[in-house]
Structure 1
C-alpha cells in the first residue's frame, strides 16, 4: 500500500533527505480502528511506534489488584506519537490505548526505526525532537488534572528569590565525570562523551529559597542535584500550584534543556535547603552536540526517558487521588517496572508493608534504603513511589509520634504529678498535630476563664491510628485539649474517661497518669448513687483548681457523618 502521502504530511519529514523518506515509505504501515478497538495493551512489548492521522485514542491504566481501569488522558491531535514509552527499557507500552471513534494511524517498527535514526543523525535530531515536544502536552494534561495536596516541604522556607547570575565554580573533570557516570540520566553515555560534558560543567551553591529554574522561563541548561534538597512545583492552567516532587537523591536531574532556544521550563525548582548543583549551560551542550552528533541522539533518547519517568509518577499521583488509594498507585508503579526490577528487590515487599499502620514505617525504610543504596532502577522507582506517598508519609510520621507519646508517658517516673504528665502529653500532641493540616476558627468564642466545662461530640477513631498493642487515642479530645484549650489558656485540660473493658489491659493505666475523672458509664451516673456523687465531687475539684474539664456527653463515639449521636 502506498503511504507516501501520509508520510510526507508528517512534520518531521519536511526537511528529510529523499532516501530517508523512501525508507520510511517502505517501512510504514497503516492501522485503522473502529470505536472500541484496542490499539495496544499495557505491558505489551512495544514493537511499533504510532502517529495519529485522524480520530481519537483514549489512554487508560488497568490495575490488576483492583480489577479496574482508570482513564488518564485522550490523544486527538493530528500526528501525535503514541507508544513512545517503548523507546525506553524494557520497551513496553506503559498504558493501554483504545479508539474512542473511527481512527487512522501510521506506524513504523521500532527496531527498524532505531536503525534508521542511528544511520541518519540529522533526521534523528528532527524526529526525536518532535517526539519529545509532542510528549510534553501529555505530561501537562495529567498534571493539570491533579489536585493540590498538603506538603511539608512547601513550608520549608519563608521566602524565595530568583538565583540571578550565580557564581559557577569549577571542579576537576575527573570528579565531575565520575559523578555523571553514576547518574541514571547519563547511563548510556560513553566515558569520552561524559568527559566532554564534564569540561563544560560547573558547580552552583544554592541557598534555601533560591529559585534554580522558573516555570515558563527560557531553558538555560541541565541541572543535577549533587547535595542538598530541592522542591519541584508546577502551576496548573487553573492557577493551582502543585508540589510534584521533593528531590534529595544525588544525581537526580532537577531541570533540563534542549537545543531549541524557544523551549520553556516546565516547572519551578526551588532549593529547600542549602544545596550543591552541577550545571551545564545550554549553549555548551549545543556546541558539544555539534561536534558529537551521536551524543546528541543519545541525549534526545534520555530526554524522552526523563519525560516518561515524570509521566509515570504524575499518572500514579493522579491515580492515587481519583482512586483514593496511594498504596494502590505504588503497587501499580512497582508492577509497571517488574520487567526491569531484580526479582530479589526489596521493593516487592513495600505493597504488603504499607497495608498496616504498624508496618508502614518499615515500608518507608525499604524505600529510602533503595533510594540511596539500590540499583539505578530501584532508586528511580523508590523516588517515584515516595513522590506518590506524600500523604501516607505524613500520616506515618503522625503515627510514629503517637506511638512515641504512648511509650514516653508510660516511661515517666511514678512520682511525677498528674499536672506535669498532662502538660508533657499536651506539648507532645502539639508536635504531633504539626504533621497534619487543620483549620481552627472561633477561638474568640471561648470562655474567659479556664475553669470551665468543654463539651464535645466524640468522633469515632480511625483504625489507621491504632497502636500495635490495640491502644487507640481519642484524637478529637487530644486535639481540643492541645490545639485549642492549651493554646488559649496555657493549661492542660482534664478529661472524663470511661473505665476500660476487660480486654483493654493498657487503657486505665495510661489514662490514670493524667489524673482524669473516670466513670463506668453515663447510664451508671444516676442521681443519688455513690458513682454520681463521686463524679460531681471530682468535677467540682477540677473546676475549682481552674483546670478545664472535657466531657463527651454521649458516652460513646460516632462517625463524622453520624455525629452528634445519642
Structure 2
C-alpha cells in the first residue's frame, strides 16, 4: 500500500475523485530500480501499470541479430509506462530499461479492471488520458522517423502542394443515410474497429454519421489543423503524410484502402489537432462523424464512450507499432528485418496456423521474395481476421521499396533469359537490339542523370572508355552471374539512342564453370580478353597469351572498321564509386594506335551503379573525345604511353567527381 497523496499528485490522476485515488492506492506500491535494470520486457504479459516517479527510462525494440533499437526516452515525472494493460492481448510492445536510477509507482491491472468495470465514467476518463499519452508518443516516434531519414534540408514533396483539390465540388455530402441506414449498419457490424460493440451502441453512433464522396486529390484534413471529424473508409484509397515542424520535410506514412479502416482519430483525443495529412489518391467514399456529436454521445452514454475509446487506443497503438517498425527499417536499411520484427511483436495475436508466420523465412532469400508478396497480398485481401489482414497491410506498406527491388531483379532475370536463350535464328545484332530495348525499359524505372551527350561523335566506330563499378550483391542471379549495370546503362541509355546500334563490349573470358556467363556473352557476340595464361578450350589451347592478345586486337579493329562502337573499361576490374577510378591498363590506348584510321576515345564517367538502383540516383557523364596520337608521337614509346595513361587517370578522377555531383543533384530533385 502507498500514500494516496503520491498518486493524486500525478498529472494522469488530476481531478480524479479522491475515493478513486484511495481505492487505487491500497493496492499500489513504489518500486526502486538501479541503472540498467529492466522494468518491462517486450512480449511479457502486461500485469501492471507504472508511472515514473524519478529517473529516466529508455524504450527499446528487439531486432533479431541486431542491438535493441532505441525508440524513445522519458524522464517526465508521472510518465505512463505499460499502457498494454488497457489493450488485449495485454503484452508489452517494448522493453523499458532504466537509463538512470529510477523509482516507479506500480498499479496492478486487476485493480484497474475492477475499478473500470464498476464505473464506465471513470473508465472513459482514464482511457481518454491513455489515448493522449499514446498520441504524444506516436508524434515523438514520427519525429524520430524524420530525424533518421537523412534528408534534413531537402525539400521533399509537400502534400498540400503536390495534391491540390481538383474540381469545384470536392465533397458530396448527404444529410443523412436515409434508406441506406440498415445496409450501413450491416457494413459497420463487420468493421474490425467496431468488433464486439453492442448493437445499440453501434446504432447510436450510426445515427450521427454522414456519407461523403471525395474527388481524387482532395485533402480531407491537414496536419496541425483542428480535428473536427472522424472517418471510416467505405471505398477508395487514402494516403497519410507526416511533415516536420517547419514543413520542409514530408514523407509518406502509409495508405488506407481496405473497407472499414478508421482515420482521423485526433477528433476524439485532446488536444484535437490532426497529427497527419490525409489525401484521397482516388475517388473516396467515407462515413464521417463530427467530433462534437461523438463527444456529446460519449457524455450521455458512458458505456458507449468506454467502448469507443478502447477502440481508439487500439487504433493509435497500431499507428505507433507502424512508426516503430518504420524506424527499424530506416535504422538498419532493411525493411525485411522490420517486417520480421513486426510479426514477432504480434506473434501472440496470430493463430498458430497463420501463413504470416512463414513470411520472415520467405523474405530471407531473393528467390522466395515473390512468394512472400503473393502470400501477403492474399492475406491482405482474404485473411482469417482483421488483425491478420492489418498486419499484412502494414507489412506490404513497409516492403514497398523491397517490392520495387524485386521488380527490378525480375527484370534482370528476364533480360538474361531472353539473351542467353535467344532463338538460334536470331543474329547477335538482333539479340543486342532486344537487349538494349529491354534495359532501357528497366532503367527508365529508376532515377538517373545523363550529361555531356553533346560530346558524342556524330559518326560511329569509336572506342568508349568508362570507369567500372562493382555490382550490388542483390543483383546476383541464381547462376551467380551479375549483369554489369554500369556498362549496360552506358550502352542502352547513352550510346544506343545516339547511333541506334548496340555497342560491342570487351569482357574477360569466363572460366569454364561459368557457363551462364559465356552463354550470355556469346549471344551478344562480345569481344573476349583472356586474363589467364592458357585457355582450356580445345580450339584455343595451342595459343600463347601474346597470340590471343593479337587475335583480340585484330577482331576489335575489324569491328571498328565495320562502324561498330566498342566499350572498354581500362581498369580491368571493378571499384566502388567512392574508390573509382582504379589504375588504367594500356590495352585500349594501344588498340587505338594500331588502327589504320585512328578512332576517337570517348570518356564516360559513371557513379552509384554499385548501389541499389531503386534507392539511389545514378549518373553517366560524357566528356570531350580525344585521339591518343594527339598526345603520343611514337606508338612504340612505352614510357610516353605510360605517362599519358597516368594523365588520363588524373582526368578521370575529376570526371568521376562530376558524375557523383550529378547524382547528388538528382537526389535533391526527388
**TM-score if structure 1 supplies the norm length?**
0.89
**How far has the Cα of 1:544 moved from its partner?**
5.5
Contact 1:149 1:242 in 2 (8 A): no
Gaps of 5+ in 2: 536-542, 584-670
The change in CA–CA distance for 1:223 and 1:495 in structure 2 (over 3 A counts) is farther
2:295 matched residue in structure 1: 286
| Pair 1:168 & 2:166 matched | no
Residue pairs, 1:543-558, within 5 angstroms: 543=560, 547-558=564-575
| Pair 1:306 & 2:315 matched | yes
2:65 matched residue in structure 1: 66
Contact 1:394 1:435 in 2 (8 A): no
Residue pairs, 1:373-452, within 5 angstroms: 373-374=382-383, 375-409=385-419, 413-436=423-446, 438-440=447-449, 442-443=451-452, 446-449=455-458, 451=460, 452=462
1:460 matched residue in structure 2: 470
Residue pairs, 1:319-398, within 5 angstroms: 319-374=328-383, 375-398=385-408
Residue pairs, 1:270-281, within 5 angstroms: 270-281=279-290
| Pair 1:496 & 2:513 matched | no
Contact 1:313 1:387 in 2 (8 A): no
The change in CA–CA distance for 1:70 and 1:494 in structure 2 (over 3 A counts) is same
Q: Deviations over 1:510-531 (max 9, x none)?
A: 3333343333349899999664
Separation in 2 of the partners of 1:409 and 1:271? Answer: 43
2:141 matched residue in structure 1: 142
The change in CA–CA distance for 1:505 and 1:211 in structure 2 (over 3 A counts) is same
**How far has the Cα of 1:11 moved from its partner?**
3.0
Contact 2:266 2:275 in 1 (8 A): no
The change in CA–CA distance for 1:130 and 1:543 in structure 2 (over 3 A counts) is farther
Q: Deviations over 1:455-482 (max 9, x none)?
A: 2222232332222333321112122223
Separation in 1 of the partners of 2:226 and 2:170? Answer: 15
Separation in 2 of the partners of 1:412 and 1:200? Answer: 65
Contact 2:2 2:29 in 1 (8 A): no
Separation in 2 of the partners of 1:113 and 1:25? Answer: 11
- With 216-225 and 204-213 compared, the bigger mean Cα shift is at 204-213
Q: Deviations over 1:251-310 (max 9, x none)?
A: 322332334674111111222233333333323322432443212112212222222111
**How far has the Cα of 1:182 moved from its partner?**
2.9
Contact 1:85 1:308 in 2 (8 A): no
| Pair 1:39 & 2:39 matched | yes
**How far has the Cα of 1:412 moved from its partner?**
5.1
Separation in 2 of the partners of 1:35 and 1:539? Answer: 71
Separation in 2 of the partners of 1:517 and 1:315? Answer: 52
Contact 2:159 2:241 in 1 (8 A): no
- With 128-137 and 425-434 compared, the bigger mean Cα shift is at 425-434
The change in CA–CA distance for 1:403 and 1:304 in structure 2 (over 3 A counts) is same
Contact 2:24 2:111 in 1 (8 A): no
The change in CA–CA distance for 1:142 and 1:487 in structure 2 (over 3 A counts) is farther
Partner SS state of residue 91, structure 1 = coil
The change in CA–CA distance for 1:427 and 1:40 in structure 2 (over 3 A counts) is same
Separation in 1 of the partners of 2:141 and 2:185? Answer: 35
**How far has the Cα of 1:543 moved from its partner?**
4.7
Contact 1:259 1:282 in 2 (8 A): yes
Separation in 1 of the partners of 2:157 and 2:441? Answer: 18
Q: Deviations over 1:216-272 (max 9, x none)?
A: 111122223333333221112464212121333333223323346741111112222
- With 543-552 and 475-484 compared, the bigger mean Cα shift is at 543-552
Separation in 2 of the partners of 1:298 and 1:107? Answer: 25
Contact 1:219 1:261 in 2 (8 A): no
Separation in 1 of the partners of 2:532 and 2:46? Answer: 67
**How far has the Cα of 1:486 moved from its partner?**
4.1
Residue pairs, 1:477-496, within 5 angstroms: 477-486=487-496, 491-496=501-506
**How far has the Cα of 1:94 moved from its partner?**
0.8
Separation in 2 of the partners of 1:28 and 1:532? Answer: 86
Contact 1:49 1:110 in 2 (8 A): yes
| Pair 1:30 & 2:24 matched | no
**TM-score if structure 2 supplies the norm length?**
0.76
Contact 1:367 1:386 in 2 (8 A): yes
Separation in 1 of the partners of 2:332 and 2:553? Answer: 50
Contact 1:350 1:363 in 2 (8 A): yes
Gaps of 5+ in 1: none
Partner SS state of residue 387, structure 1 = helix
The change in CA–CA distance for 1:157 and 1:81 in structure 2 (over 3 A counts) is closer
